[in-house]
Amino acid sequence: MSSTNSKTQQLLAFVPLVLVAVMNSYLVRAIPGWYPNGFDFAALALVNGAVTTSALGDQFNKAIAAANIPPELFGIV
């Protein structure tokens, strides 16, 4: 492999990193403008922004039972 080709590959390897950094910077600045009032966790009955995973698990179990999906597909026995 030539030295020029190797340098090109090394440069291209940084493209995803630069893209992520640029998009992260953009989104950090843009999202507050899209949601000026922030997000209200209380509207979803999430006190202090806490998510109770056991409650989510119960909802998940009810949903798969209602859809007649075998729980074994999700490792639930």
Q: Are residues 43 and 69 in the same domain?
A: yes
Q: Are residues 73 and 60 in the same domain?
A: yes
Residue 18 to residues 4, 28, 36: CA-CA distances in angstroms? 21, 15, 28
Question: What's the pLDDT score for residue 20?
Answer: 97
Q: What is the mean pLDDT of residues 12-25?
A: 95
Residue 28 to residue 41: CA distance in whole angstroms: 20
Task: Provide the domain limits for residue 28.
Answer: 1-38
Question: What's the pLDDT score for residue 13?
Answer: 92
Would you place residue 52 in the very low, low, confident or very high pLDDT band (cuts 50, 70, 90)? low
Q: Are residues 31 and 45 in the same domain?
A: no
How many domains does the chain fold into? 2
Question: What's the pLDDT score for residue 45?
Answer: 72
Question: What's the pLDDT score for residue 38?
Answer: 79
Q: Are residues 62 and 30 in the same domain?
A: no
Query: Cβ-count burial of 64 within 10 angstroms (0-12 exposed, 13-18 middle, 19+ buried)?
Result: middle
Q: Are residues 14 and 43 in the same domain?
A: no
Non-local (6+) Cβ contacts of 29 within 8 A are none
